[in-house]
Structure 1
Amino acid sequence: MATIEECRAALEKFSDNMQGAEGDVRAAAAMDRSVSCRITDLDVTFVGRLTGGRIEVDETLQGPPREKAEIRLTMTGDDLVAMVGGDLNFAKAWGSGRVKLEASLLDVFRLRKLL
């Protein structure tokens, strides 16, 4: 099972990847939205903001998020680490229910370029 530190590092790596992206991916990453990433097996939620092409994590909360973010991800820590490491395809994980993404329809269309 992935640790909180490994999950935070995976989010940081994902953020670094977005910031270095070009073209359509860079445009998708340029959104300004509140973000939460709930890690179910650790019972923690990373809360922050997608801004300037990066995910800035402001807090790590025990349990579910207190407020509803504009972009909400839910998954296990192992799935987060595997996705960022390229070992788990986001579309397949989302389609099978291993990863949950909740956002406006417009944001989902933009995010699919990132994930």
Structure 2
Amino acid sequence: MASVDECRQALQDLAARLDHNAETVRERIDLDRTLACRVTDLGAAFHGRLADGRLLELTDGDDPKAKIALSTSSDDLLALVRGELDVTRAVASNRVSIKANPFDLLKLRKLL
């Protein structure tokens, strides 16, 4: 089981990668949505905002009103961020849950 600090660092690494590739990401998806990432086995959560191809304002804590919510275990979160776990397969096998409106899911699919 990964630690809260490792999960936080993984999300910060993801934010840095998105920032570095913001133009490409923005071309694929044009979203401005709040985002929550819930780490089920640690009882921890993080939230931020996906906008302009970037993951912004990433901080600790849940956002129950987030428009996009991802729930997974700490190890699966790290594997997802590292590219070791395919998100489509993870969702199909219930290792990852993504709650969002159908139109946002279609847009996110282009990113994943």
TM-score (norm 1): 0.84
Distance 1:20 1:112 in 2: 20
1:32 maps onto 2:29 in alignment: no
4+ aligned runs moved over 4 Å, structure 1: none
- Counting matched residue pairs gives 111
Task: Tell me the residue number matched to 1:94.
Answer: 91
Extract unaligned runs of 5+ from structure 1: none
Contact 1:71 1:101 in 2 (8 A): yes
Contact 1:46 1:57 in 2 (8 A): no
Extract unaligned runs of 5+ from structure 2: none
Contact 2:40 2:72 in 1 (8 A): yes
Task: Tell me the residue number matched to 2:7.
Answer: 7
What RMSD in Å do the two structures reach over aligned CA positions?
1.8
Distance 2:80 2:46 in 1: 16
Task: Tell me the residue number matched to 2:55.
Answer: 55
Contact 2:36 2:63 in 1 (8 A): no
C-alpha displacement of 1:43: 0.2
Task: Tell me the residue number matched to 1:79.
Answer: 76
SS in 2 for 1:47: strand
C-alpha displacement of 1:13: 1.9
Deviations 1:47-98 (A, max 9, x none): 111123221244312xxx3522100000011101001111111100011110
SS in 2 for 1:113: helix
Task: Tell me the residue number matched to 1:16.
Answer: 16
Distance 1:31 1:83 in 2: 20
**Quick one: percent identity of the two aligned structures?**
41
SS in 2 for 1:49: strand
Greater percentage in helix: 2
Match for 1:14: what amino acid?
L
